[in-house]
A and B are shown apart, each in its own frame.
Chain A
Amino acid sequence: MRLVLPNPGLDLRIPNYEDLEKMEKEDGDRPKWDNKAQYILTCVGFCVGIGNVWRFPYLCQTHGGGAFLIPYIILLVLEGLPLLLLEFGIGQRLRKGSVGVWRAINPYLTGVGIASMLVSLLIGLYYNTLIAWIMWYLFNSFQGPLPWTQCPLNDNRTGFISECQQSSTVDYYFYRVTLNASASITDSGGLQWPIVICLLAAWTVICICYIRGISTSGKAVYVTALLPYVVLAIFLIRGLTLKGAMNGVKYLFTPDVDELMNPTTWLDAGAQVFYAFSLAWGGLISFSSYNPVHNNCMQDAVILTIITGLTSIYAATVTYTVIGFRATDKYDTCISENIRMLLNGFELPEDSITASNYNAALHHLNSSNPDTVFGLDIKTCDMQKLLSEGVEGTGLAFIVFTEAITKMPGSPAWSVLFFIMLLCLGLSTLFGNIEGVVVPLKDLNLFPKKWPQEALTGVTCLVSFIICLLFAQQSGLYWVTLFDNFAGSIPLLTIGLTEMIAVVYIYGIDRFNEDIKFMIGKKPCIFWQISLRFTSPLILLVILVFYLVTQAQQELTYLVWDPDYDEFPTLASVPYPSWINVVIFVLAGIPSLVVPVYALCRLVFVRCKKKMNYLNTVSASEASCLFHQCTFVMVGIKCNIF
């Protein structure tokens, strides 16, 4: 039952085993890792990103706490591990970047590589904007008190600006001072200069780290991949000593087994595993192609899976100690406020109501003087609600965490540490990202061959910076959310699925097994066989279908920061304008469609070329007709894409 699609000429396109051995002995011009540690650290840095800090803990907590770990680990092993082995193995075997690998397997599949490159580019653009925001906060952390602890004063200096008064200091600092967010995505406002400067800093840092390819980024990863773990450890110790930390951890890990029955849980777990491993970006294939031929890629895949899984849990624990502390602090403040109002309202002596007898006292007062109590407008203090507040994405880092940090003694130091950690997490992911953009551009010959690596990196960074200015506008936050939702979801799943099908059924799983045997010394065992052939593609297909269905059913709305909204400071849910469909098509549709469209174009081109060769023997009128038919693919010839 070996289903392999016909693939003529494969042996001509890929180096055979003797060539590989020869390449191994000679010192080719292909970059190499200095040592295994660099390679592992780069891959770990690539896989462990900001999502581990601000996406996984949220998913864990909303989908049943400790119980979420069950689908997460199952899908980690069934979905993530085989895909990792696939990308590592194919990169190491074919010794090329993503475009080169797919082109070698079958020239019609080059579209997969191009799609990977486009997705990496789009993701890299908005990811670096997040890095720019993190840098802004980092730069502003070198002062005490931190600038987001105070509201600015209003005109007559008797109070604070109303926008800040109604929301909170951290909200105001993020939405107004940093982003100067407009009220809708259409209202682009002007460029927000602090963000432009931070974007410049972000792209320059990436440029210098990647300026000579992996020879410079390989050195940078020693810091960017290891520092987050150190900082997380420091935060863990600090977090556990804070009051109320265990409330947060308990909230996170309290299992709710009923959630396992919910298909969304499994879907979200699958999607998280897929994105966490940065699969289908093309970076992993590139990185493993710089390995020696006999590197044990199977072991690497297992190591990486274990490290990513453990890091997610570790980061989630740290995050929730801080969230627990913040929630407890807010709860205590809420109770004290209520006590004060009651004491003031009923003119009771000090200390007659404390936190411990608050409930009893409130009940007593409510039963004796309900009207007065009602008039006082006592707010209910709900710990569970506070624990579940705004704890995902940018909200976690820039609002919840910054607020929690202001309450810790020595806040500037903690703030600096936190944002350096986020910066390192983001940078190490971006190395893989930019690898997934620059190397395909090189393979597609879109750059002149004479240009050195420095020029390639420089030009890519410069062009990306200019496109990123879109995110520096006042509506930039909404664009980032748009990119986050659409550029990184459907296309990645499509590419991942295509990769699996391509390697298993077009390259041939038998050939792949032989390759692994040649490289490592033993064939992949039955687990890999079954998962590569059936389970992983099936899981990916199910996730993709569900995603398409849910996205199609969803109304296109987004959340805006609108001070004029009735329920301000809650974010208002506003429908997208109609032209957003074009943007969504560009973000999600084009990378997904590149794969079949490229194959189609190539088919036409091949036919055309055959006819062109035949042109010499036909009449002039026929020749001109055929010529017009083939004109549109001339671009392909010029760019040497085909």
Chain B
Amino acid sequence: MLGPLPELLQHCAILLFVFWEKCWKRSCSCSVCHFLWQKGSVNQYPWNKNEMFLFRAALAFAMRDFTNGEEFGVSDIHPCNETQRVSFWFVVTRPKTMDLVDKGTVEMAIKKSRNRINGAFLLTDKTLEFDGIYPTLAAPVSPDTPPWLIVFGVVMGAVSVGIIALLVYPLVQRKLKKNMDADDEDSDEETGVKTAENGANDGIYNSTFSDDERFTQM
């Protein structure tokens, strides 16, 4: 990623050289920090000494918050090897004693106050990356009743109502028709007329009957 540690050691400020040596021997209690650029609108995070001061202050706050009171100050955070793309290493020392704080503690402190650190820079987990510290992701919002069940319910309800309506409608129609026929007192006369018609009419085309004849005789 950034190259092996010994190479970086050479670029470090002499003031912190001692600490870097200790760092290497203790198999790294350093932390790496990347300020990534934001896609789209802001191309590059505007970086200057004041921003670095803010970072150190935020990190000191995080250490204080985690260790519950140990008075870390801005001078206890030591960045080094800043690059143009805004990435740098840093180490944390204990106040007063100048002992290195180990990586694990620093990581946990950062994890705890990640939101606050992000907020200080108006950045997000994606644009402010601490190497080796993975942000816990927000779980996707899942509503209590899955929406698909609601839509399914609506569709099935509509379809069931439709089926029942289509099945019941002709029955209701038939009942109404029967009632109308019962009310009709000329029914006897009508049937009489009908039979006469049947006799007079020589051939009402009965397709069902003719159909049967059309099958080949065996």
Partner of A347 from B87, B147, B160 at Cβ < 8 Å: B87
Query: Which of A150, A153, A204, A211 is the one whose CB lies under 8 Å from B160?
Result: A204
CA distance A216 to B170 in the complex (A): 14
CA distance A548 to B187 in the complex (A): 68
**Are A142 and B139 in contact, CB atoms less than 8 angstroms apart?**
no
Within the complex, which residue of B84, B148, B163, B166 is in contact with A136, where a contact is CB–CB below 8 Å? B148
Q: A351 on the interface (CB 8 Å rule)?
A: yes
Write out the residue numbers on chain A whose beta carbons fall within 8 Å of the beta carbon of B5.
none
Which of B143, B166, B213 contacts A211 (CB under 8 A)?
B166
- A13:B215 contact, CB within 8 angstroms: yes
Instruction: Pick the residue among A13, A194, A349 that contacts B216 (CB under 8 A).
Output: A13
Q: Which stretch, A22-30, A283-291, A384-392, A549-557, touches the partner chain B?
A: A22-30
Please state if B136 and A158 are interface contacts (CB–CB under 8 Å): yes
| B37 at interface, CB cutoff 8 A | yes
Can you offer 28 A-B residue contacts whose CB atoms are under 8 A?
A12-B213, A12-B215, A28-B207, A107-B216, A139-B147, A139-B155, A142-B147, A142-B148, A143-B148, A152-B140, A153-B137, A157-B137, A158-B135, A159-B137, A160-B137, A198-B152, A205-B155, A207-B163, A208-B162, A211-B167, A343-B85, A344-B1, A344-B85, A347-B83, A347-B87, A349-B85, A350-B44, A454-B167
List CB contacts (< 8 Å) of A304-336 with chain B. 336
CB atoms of B218 and A140 under 8 A apart: no
Query: Contact residues of B with A, CB < 8 Å?
Result: 1-2, 34, 37, 39, 43-44, 83-85, 87, 134-137, 139-140, 143, 147-152, 155-156, 159-160, 162-163, 166-167, 205, 207, 210, 213-218
Which residues, 139 to 166 on A, are CB-close (under 8 Å) to B? 139-140, 142-143, 150, 152-153, 156-160
9 additional A-B residue pairs with CB within 8 Å, beyond A103-B215, A157-B139, A345-B1: A107-B215, A139-B152, A139-B155, A142-B148, A142-B151, A156-B136, A204-B160, A207-B163, A347-B83
Residues on A with C-beta less than 8 A from B210 are: 15, 19
Q: Mark A209-232, 1 if CB is under 8 A from B, else 0.
A: 001100010000000000000000
Contact of A159 among B134, B155, B162, B167 (CB under 8 A): B134
- Closest Cβ of chain B to A455, distance in Å, is 10
Contact B84 A347 (CB under 8 A): yes
Contact B137 A205, beta carbon cutoff 8 Å: no
Q: Name the residue of chain B whose CB is nearest to the CB of A642.
A: B218
* Shortest distance from the beta carbon of A266 to any chain B beta carbon, whole Å: 41
Tell me whether A216 and B214 are in contact (CB under 8 A). no
A14 within 8 A of B: yes
CB distance from A206 to the nearest CB of B (A): 10
**Which 7 A-B pairs rank lowest in CB-CB distance, beginning with the nearest?**
A139-B148, A350-B44, A9-B216, A158-B134, A139-B151, A143-B147, A13-B214
Contact with B along A601-620 (1 / 0, CB 8 A): 00000100110000000000
State the main secondary structure of chain A at its contact with B: helix
Closest to B215 in A: A13
Chain A positions within 8 Å of B44 at CB level: 349-351
Asked whether A350 and B85 contact (CB < 8 A) given A13-B214, A336-B39, the answer is yes
A77 at interface by CB-CB < 8 Å? no
* Chain A residues closer than 8 Å to B213, beta-carbon distance: 12
Query: A212–B43 contact, CB under 8 A?
Result: no
Residue in A104, A152, A201 whose CB lies within 8 Å of B152 = A201
Q: Are B151 and A205 in contact (CB under 8 A)?
A: no
- Residues on B with C-beta less than 8 A from A208 are 159, 162-163, 166
Nearest CB to that of A13 among chain B residues? B214
Closest to B86 in A: A350
Contact A201 B163 (CB under 8 A): no
Q: How far is the CB of B197 from chain A (nearest CB, A)?
A: 16
A8, A158, A198, A350 — which one has the most chain B CB atoms within 10 A of its CB?
A: A350
Beta-carbon contacts under 8 Å, A448-467 to B:
454
Residues of B within 8 A of A22 (CB): 205
Query: 1/0 per residue A123-149: CB within 8 Å of B?
Result: 000000000000010111011000000
Shortest Cβ distance from A211 into B: residue: B166
